[in-house]
Structure 1
């Protein structure tokens, strides 16, 4: 059985998306701790001042203030988070956004589904993914999840 990442940070401004993320997470495991940030700046502030680093970050691409791609760039500038698992989340499959996410160091680009069961499966997949071997993945490995 794969290890489940349990300390999760989510930067998401849409309350419905947060609700469904929480619901899926509760179904995946009661042991997970979710901390939600309404924008990228609050997430960056927390990462700069905390000793309680998360296991994984989920960043919505469209947020007020710092968007997900800008936030990702700032996360990667923090040396402790330069190879940390980050998943960019978006309803869009725009090739330019996907390319920027990959160039800025995202581990995966998750296209948010409208179906709850698909969302559940995608989140579970990201929480059980072997991120330690991620750096050895070949270029052909799947970067975009969903769509």
Structure 2
């Protein structure tokens, strides 16, 4: 089955996590376009550019200045951005965070596993799902 290429916005401040994502995409031989933002402010700047508009957003919760939850709240209250599927990628298994994210409108909440092999499997499944999903284009 041919997989379509998707544009992914990765909002992650930890360089090691960004490198892990890059390594995983390379290992899986995926051709998706991964745009990276280290902060919520940087992510919003990217979202203003229609030519690099993401199909999905992978969002870390624990970021400096503006948390992932604050970012998600702003994103989901914006009529031109709220349609973008947003998946939390986090180490936080705090049930309050989980419930708050789903209440705001997150599309998924994924715990980053400790073992790299498990991380690769989760990322492969998440990206495969969004490749077969019909995504809204603007």
Q: Provide the TM-score with structure 1 as the length reference.
A: 0.81
Return 5+ residue gaps in structure 1 as ranges: 134-147
State the number of aligned residues.
Answer: 133
Residue 128 (structure 2) pairs with residue 128 (structure 1): yes
- CA contact under 8 A between 2:61 and 2:89: conserved in structure 1? yes
Q: Which stretch of the first structure deviates more once superposed, 73-82 or 11-20?
A: 73-82
Match of 2:17 in 1: 17
Match of 1:99 in 2: 99
- CA contact under 8 A between 2:54 and 2:84: conserved in structure 1? no
Structural mapping, 1:1-147, within 5 Å: 1=1, 3-129=3-129, 130-132=132-134
Q: Distance in 2 between matches of 1:69 and 1:131?
A: 24
- CA contact under 8 A between 1:85 and 1:131: conserved in structure 2? no
Distance 1:119 1:4, change over 3 A: farther
Q: Distance in 2 between matches of 1:50 and 1:66?
A: 23
State the Cα RMSD in Å: 1.8
Q: Distance in 2 between matches of 1:108 and 1:8?
A: 14
Q: Distance in 2 between matches of 1:40 and 1:131?
A: 26
Q: Distance in 2 between matches of 1:35 and 1:99?
A: 27
SS in 2 for 1:89: strand
Cα distance per residue 1:63-110 (max 9 Å; x no partner): 001111111112222323222211111111110000011011111001
SS in 2 for 1:63: coil
SS in 1 for 2:105: coil
- CA contact under 8 A between 1:9 and 1:35: conserved in structure 2? yes
SS in 2 for 1:35: strand
